[in-house]
Amino acid sequence: MRCESFHQNLHEFLDLQLDAQALSRAENHLEACPKCQDLVGEFRLVQSIVARRVVLPDGITARMSVELKRNRRRSWRDRFLDLWDRIRTSVRDMEPISVWTKATAMPVTCLIFFLLLQHFAPVQIESLAFLIVSAERQTSEISSPPLMFSIQVEQNRSELNGIINAARKLPYEDSLTLVAEIDPDGRAEIGDVLEYPKSYDLLNAVQVALSTSQFKRTSEVASPVVIFSLQKIDVYEDSL
Amino acid sequence: MAELTRTIASEAFADRDELVVRLKEGDESAFDEVFQLYKDMVYTLALKLLADKGESMDVTQEVFLTLFRKIHSFRGECSLKTWLYRVAINQAANRNRWWKRHLQSRTVSLSISNEPDRPAVRELPSNQPSPLRDCYSAELRKALEKTLSELPFEQRVTITLRDVEGLAYEEIAEVTSTSIGTVKSRIARARIRLRDQLQKFKGGEEL
Ligand SMILES: [Zn+2]
């Protein structure tokens, strides 16, 4: 084995992901090659520095534990009372004139905000690329190419908004793949999720949207049909 | 691929099912148990991704709050640990962007504001079997940690899941929803950058 081929599998070697045969070949080379030994040494040093763990300091742990317990238990009533308390105290501490200014300013701000929302609210679903890429009829003849036909989704804004909102919250590009069965009435039922998204909220949102959306098949096929559908949701917000 | 994903989810990652059941039942002690069990893991992960102690502490708290509040929607398709990884990575990614946008202008972090003179981080010896562990200087460590913090976010995630958490390539691919090929290339790119830094550092020392 030459250095080049050792380098090719270097990271698998470092990560103990080589199979027995490849491993013994790599080890044989390493034994005889001081240059590669140096290289491995350097990478192992890098690994060991990256691998350093830390523990949450005891004081922080204790405080966080208390904090978590409190927040978990807070009921809606508590939260409302808290908010009310805050508003009351802040109003009490204000100058009377300031209270009036704020009281007038608030509805105006709300109105502007509402108008802005109206203006920006409609989000093009295309920008999130919610696509049903292909539909394939399940067939026993494996040799025959899959029968492709398109299905249309009657886009109901409110249903798809769930997906948009779930997708918007994701910092990542996220995708999922699932198999859905479209019944003769055009309702989809998810049979199997082949690729889970990182976010379960997203999966839930897609599940809801699929179960409430109406599908139309554009070509005639015997029903019920098991379709293989691909949904891909991409979020391009910032380049990470 | 689906089969593979499922196998990973059910075998290598199958942990503490009964803990999840107790969480869903609202068992108070289960919440504490989960927190104690995974707090350092989440904190370490966050710190590697954000390179900021206060931010990482906030993320840690947020992750467990999310877990406790959303445990009912946790369906057990992946293990609790995988779920925590994902939540932590998402939270860190959010903050990472926020952080960048605000040009790292300092905000006072709640979790460290009243902890005046105590060191915020206590170090644990790494569990990696490495004879080199004690051979490097603190300066080198800092230099490499800085380089790590400057890597693209995905590379940081991948290298951390690999070298800190010791996940196999398949598991990393599952957590980050990418292919094994992508995982491999991210690991390689991250390590090459880090090694370059190591060499620069060595060169600097010799001068
Ligand atoms: Zn060699």
Whole-angstrom distance, CA of residue A212 vs CA of residue A188: 8
CATH number at residue A234: 3.30.2420
Same domain? A34 vs A80:
no
pLDDT in the model for residue A38? 92
* Total count of domains within chain B: 2
Same domain? A235 vs A165:
yes
Q: Using alpha carbons, select from B19, B39, B44, B38 the residue that is nearest to residue B29.
A: B19
Pairing between strand A176-182 and A225-232?
antiparallel
Whole-angstrom distance, CA of residue B35 vs CA of residue B37: 5
Residues 6+ apart with CB under 8 A from A163: A128, A130, A202, A205, A206, A209, A233
A124 assigned to some structural domain: no
Same domain? A27 vs A85:
no
In a mutational test of the A interface, the residue from B28, B31, B128, B149 whose CB has the highest number of chain A CBs within 10 Å is B128
Same domain? B94 vs B167:
no
Chain B contacts of A54, Cβ < 8 Å?
A: 40, 43-44, 47, 121-124
Same domain? A229 vs A151:
yes
Distance to chain A for B51, nearest Cα, Å: 12
Question: Domain of A16?
Answer: 3-50
Same domain? B117 vs B165:
yes
Same domain? A30 vs A66:
no
3-state secondary structure of A189: strand
pLDDT in the model for residue A113? 72
What percent of chain A has pLDDT above 90?
A: 17
Q: For A28-85, what is each residue's pLDDT tens digit?
A: 999 999 999 999 999 999 998 898 889 999 889 999 998 888 877 655 666 677 678 7
pLDDT in the model for residue A228? 32
Tell me the residue type at A19: D
Q: How is residue A96 written in tokens?
A: 């009377």
Q: How is residue A175 written in tokens?
A: 């995708």
Query: CB distance from B97 to chain A under 8 Å?
Result: yes
B96, B126, B177 ranked by CB distance to A174: nearest = B177
Same domain? B66 vs B139:
no
B86, B115, B141 ranked by CB distance to A198: nearest = B86
- pTM for the structure as a whole: 0.55
Q: For A105-138, what is each residue's pLDDT tens digit?
A: 777 877 877 766 655 443 333 323 233 333 333 3
Same domain? B87 vs B120:
no
Q: For A6-27, what is each residue's pLDDT tens digit?
A: 999 999 999 988 999 999 999 9
pLDDT in the model for residue A180? 62
Ligand 1 centroid to Cα of residue A37, in Å, is 7
Whole-angstrom distance, CA of residue A115 vs CA of residue B36: 47
Average of pLDDT values for A155-176?
62
A19 assigned to some structural domain: yes
Query: CB distance from B148 to chain A under 8 Å?
Result: yes
CATH number at residue B118: 1.10.10.10
Same domain? B86 vs B155:
no
Whole-angstrom distance, CA of residue B193 vs CA of residue A32: 27
Same domain? B102 vs B118:
no
Whole-angstrom distance, CA of residue A175 vs CA of residue B177: 8
Reported ipTM: 0.75
pLDDT in the model for residue A158? 64
Regions in chain B scoring below 50 on pLDDT: 1-15, 101-134
Q: For A138-158, what is each residue's pLDDT tens digit?
A: 333 333 333 444 455 554 556
CB contact under 8 A, A172 and B93: yes
Same domain? B18 vs B99:
yes
Same domain? B131 vs B185:
yes
- A97-132 b/e (C-beta count within 10 Å ≥ 16 → b): eeeeeeeeeeeeeeeeeeeeeeeeeeeebeebbbeb
HSE of B73 in the Cβ direction (CA atoms, 13 Å)?
13
Q: For B16-62, what is each residue's pLDDT tens digit?
A: 578 888 888 878 888 899 999 999 999 999 999 998 888 899 999 98
A197 assigned to some structural domain: yes
Distance to chain A for B195, nearest Cα, Å: 6
The CA-atom distances, in angstroms, between B198 and each of A4, B37, B49 are 21, 34, 20
Chain B contacts of A171, Cβ < 8 Å?
A: 90, 93-94, 96-97
Domain end call among B57, B80, B107: B107
Whole-angstrom distance, CA of residue A178 vs CA of residue A206: 10
Whole-angstrom distance, CA of residue A133 vs CA of residue A137: 14
pLDDT in the model for residue A106? 76
A42, A171, A199 ranked by CB distance to B198: nearest = A42
Same domain? B132 vs B99:
no
* Helix, strand, coil shares, percent, chain A, to 5: 55, 15, 30
Same domain? A162 vs A208:
yes
Same domain? A24 vs A76:
no
CATH number at residue B68: 1.10.1740.10
Domain end call among B107, B130, B160: B107
pLDDT in the model for residue A143? 38
CB contact under 8 A, A68 and B184: no
DSSP characters for chain B?
-HHHHHHIIIIIT---HHHHHHHHTT-HHHHHHHHHHHHHHHHHHHHHHH--HHHHHHHHHHHHHHHHHHGGG--SSS-HHHHHHHHHHHHHHHHHHHHHHTTT-----HHHHT--SS-S-EEE---S--TTTTTS-HHHHHHHHHHHHHS-HHHHHHHHHHHTT---HHHHHHHHT--HHHHHHHHHHHHHHHHHHHHHHHHHHH-
Chain A contacts of B123, Cβ < 8 Å?
A: 52-54
Question: Domain of B165?
Answer: 113-207
In eight-state DSSP terms, residue A21 is H
Residue of B nearest to A7 (CA): B188
Same domain? B67 vs B29:
yes
Considering Cα of B24, then B45, then B62, then B66, what sign does the dihedral take?
Answer: negative
Look at the block and give the residue holding tokens 């490499």: B144
Instruction: Give the H or E element holding residue A54.
Output: strand A53-55
Distance to chain B for A34, nearest Cα, Å: 17
pLDDT in the model for residue A225? 36
Q: What angle do CA A148, A149, A154 make, to 5 degrees?
A: 145
Same domain? B55 vs B147:
no
A25 assigned to some structural domain: yes
Q: What angle do CA B99, A54, A59 make, to 5 degrees?
A: 85
